[in-house]
Amino acid sequence: MNRGGSMATTFTVWADGRLDVGAKRVRCALGPGGIVAAADKREGDGATPAGLWPLRSLLYRADRLARPQSGLETRALRPDDGWCDAPDDAHYNRAVTWPYPAGAEHLWREDGVYDLIVLLGYNDDPVIPGAGSAIFLHLAREDYAPTQGCVALARDDLLTLLAGAAPGDALRIVADRSAG
């Protein structure tokens, strides 16, 4: 995570549920479907897509924590923030206002897992209907229960990652269990 130049940082997620943050490897939660090739990812399959996904921006719950230190574009989450997960909708895999008439996930959650959300550049340029939506880097549950396909970290680990993150950085998700 050396920022001594313009080199982008890649944070690597391994199939065994670990993520490299600098020289440290920390635990993370993944989807119950494991890691699959991005070409095989489908909406609602519970799988985490393999690939190199840019860290786009950060959303945080300002009512629960101070603005995190990060070089990423950052904004406070609003109670009406949502994310469209309806493949047949024109706003599929895009931010929407909650409630939304098509299927959408409400981002303002009581369980705390979305108190910090890093929007990843998965299936967003271009958006392919049905290829998976709302693949985020967010907070893990205390027991590291599986996500719906996202990558989730403990609060301190995610804050450490964010402190070293900047535009151009990416999350690399590796499917090969023998790697790393």
Residues 6+ apart with CB under 8 A from 68: 58, 60, 74, 116, 159, 162, 163
Q: Rounded to whole angstroms, how far apart are CA atoms 20 and 41?
A: 23
- DSSP string spanning 82-136? EEE--TTSTTTTSEEESS-SS-EEESS-SSSTTSEEEEE-SS-SS--TTS----E
Within a domain: 2:
no
For the chain, the domain total comes to: 1
pLDDT of residue 2: 45
Q: Could you tell me the residue range of the domain that residue 103 belongs to?
A: 10-173
- Tell me the average pLDDT across 6-26: 93
Cα→Cα distances 9→25, 122, 166, 180, Å = 15, 17, 8, 17
Tokens of 29: 């939660």
Q: Is 168 helix (H, G, I), strand (E, B) or coil?
A: coil
Q: Rounded to whole angstroms, how far apart are CA atoms 173 and 109?
A: 26
pLDDT of residue 179: 58
Q: Residue 111 maps to which CATH number?
A: 2.40.440
Within a domain: 5:
no
pLDDT category at 7 given cuts 50, 70, 90 is confident
Within a domain: 4:
no
Within a domain: 179:
no
Within a domain: 64:
yes
Within a domain: 98:
yes
Picking from 119, 147, 135, the residue whose alpha carbon sits closest to that of residue 49 is: 135
pTM: 0.94
Within a domain: 107:
yes
Within a domain: 1:
no
| pLDDT tens digits, 26-85 | 999 999 999 999 999 999 999 999 999 999 999 999 999 999 999 999 999 999 999 999
